[in-house]
């Protein structure tokens, strides 16, 4: 029987369980997965920083081929016809009924863990990305993967890339952008910012190897924050931004404590955008907001 990875308890271990396949429900698809990503959110879950019940089927970034189509599912979210064998990637699902969804803000769905919340112990079992199969939900947009795209490029698309595309969607040609954190989101953000026309993209992290990857993805300046004070980092940011500070700061460390630092990097009338994963730190956390590609903003 095909396998599904389950986090048995906070901190592990992760064990492989076997479950039978089933017919996909109407409007859904069964996918034979080819590759999955490990998002920072997965690490939060692994460490027990989210109050999710264990055993927990982990992973929410994946790409796979359609193994079976449920009744009535004939096209992807853009209207392209679907057939068995097509490579596809599913996006986060939303309820479609709450206040946010009804106002076109499905990224802020209030029922992320209610509505169609599924657990692995009920059919179709394969509800996480870290398994051999994945069954979509009826409210989950599904996208056919264009030919020629490598699985490595597509697997993180629905979370790491989509979140930063959303957060940085208003960048203008010539803007200066500071990215706090060179993890999966930060590295994708560097590429998005440069592609959008940013004149300077400054990435801050404490791990030099990650900064090297950020440079490969478009960062024009990297600041190794290891051993530096906030004042020293701020001075370096200003040196990279004509002495006036950045037009944008994107916080993707996932640690609320760095948000005040980021506000100090901004120039007048700039914007600070924050990955919602930072909300995961603290006992009141209950919703994996990263699943909604939510970001919040504050004017500086």
The residue ranges that bind Zn ion (CB under 5 A) are 39, 41, 94-95, 98, 101, 109, 111, 159, 290
Least distance from Zn ion to the Cβ atom of residue 97, Å = 6
DSSP 8-state secondary structure symbol assigned to residue 44: H
- Residue-wise burial string across 201-216, b where 16 or more C-beta atoms lie within 10 A, e elsewhere: bbbbbeeeebbebbbe
Residue closer to Zn ion, measured from CB, 176 or 295: 295
Residue 273, phi then psi, degrees to nearest 5:
-120, 140
Query: Between residues 80 and 296, which has the closer beta carbon with respect to Zn ion?
Result: 296
Q: Identify the DSSP state of 281.
A: S
Count the Cβ atoms, other than its own, within 10 Å of residue 174.
10
Question: What is the closest distance, in whole angstroms, from the C-beta atom of residue 220 to Zn ion in the complex?
Answer: 26
CA distance 20 to 3: 9
Supply the minimum distance, in Å, between the C-beta of residue 167 and Zn ion.
13
Which residue's CB is nearer to Zn ion, number 198 or number 290?
290
Q: Rounded to the nearest whole angstrom, what is the least distance from the CB of residue 2 to Zn ion in the complex?
A: 23
Q: Alpha helices, DSSP H only, in the chain?
A: 40-46, 99-102, 151-154, 162-167, 184-195, 208-216, 230-240, 259-264
Instruction: Collect all residues with Cβ–Cβ distance below 8 Å to 243 and sequence separation of at least 6.
Output: none
Which residue lies nearer to Zn ion by CB, 39 or 237?
A: 39
User: Minimal distance in Å, beta carbon 107 to Zn ion?
Assistant: 10
By C-beta, is 61 or 76 nearer to Zn ion?
Answer: 61
């Amino acid at each position: 029987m095909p396998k599904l990875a389950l986090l048995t308890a906070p901190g592990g271990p992760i064990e492989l369980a076997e479950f039978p396949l089933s017919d996909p429900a109407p409007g859904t698809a069964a996918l034979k997965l080819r590759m999955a990503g490990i998002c920072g959110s997965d690490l939060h879950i692994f460490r027990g920083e989210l109050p999710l019940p264990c055993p927990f089927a982990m992973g929410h970034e994946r790409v796979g081929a359609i193994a079976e189509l449920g009744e009535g599912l004939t096209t992807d979210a853009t209207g392209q016809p679907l057939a068995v064998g097509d490579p596809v990637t599913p996006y986060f699902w939303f309820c479609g009924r709450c206040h946010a969804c009804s106002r076109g803000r499905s990224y802020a769905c209030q029922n992320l863990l209610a509505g169609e919340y599924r657990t692995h112990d009920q059919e179709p079992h394969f509800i996480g990305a870290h398994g051999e199969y994945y069954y979509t939900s009826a409210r989950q947009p599904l996208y056919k993967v264009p030919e020629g795209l490598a699985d490595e490029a597509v697997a993180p698309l629905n979370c790491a890339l989509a979140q930063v595309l959303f957060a940085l969607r208003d960048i203008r040609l010539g803007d200066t952008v500071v990215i706090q954190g060179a993890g999966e989101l930060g590295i994708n953000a560097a590429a998005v910012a440069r592609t959008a026309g940013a004149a300077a993209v400054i990435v801050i992290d404490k791990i030099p190897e990650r900064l090297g990857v950020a440079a490969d993805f478009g960062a024009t300046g990297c600041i190794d924050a290891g051993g530096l004070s906030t004042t020293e980092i701020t001075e370096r940011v200003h040196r990279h931004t004509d002495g006036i500070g950045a037009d944008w700061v994107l916080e993707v460390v996932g640690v609320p404590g760095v948000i005040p630092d980021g506000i100090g990097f901004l120039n007048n009338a700039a914007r600070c955008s924050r990955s919602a994963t930072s909300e995961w730190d603290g006992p009141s956390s209950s919703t994996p907001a990263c699943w909604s590609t939510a970001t919040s903003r504050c004017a500086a």
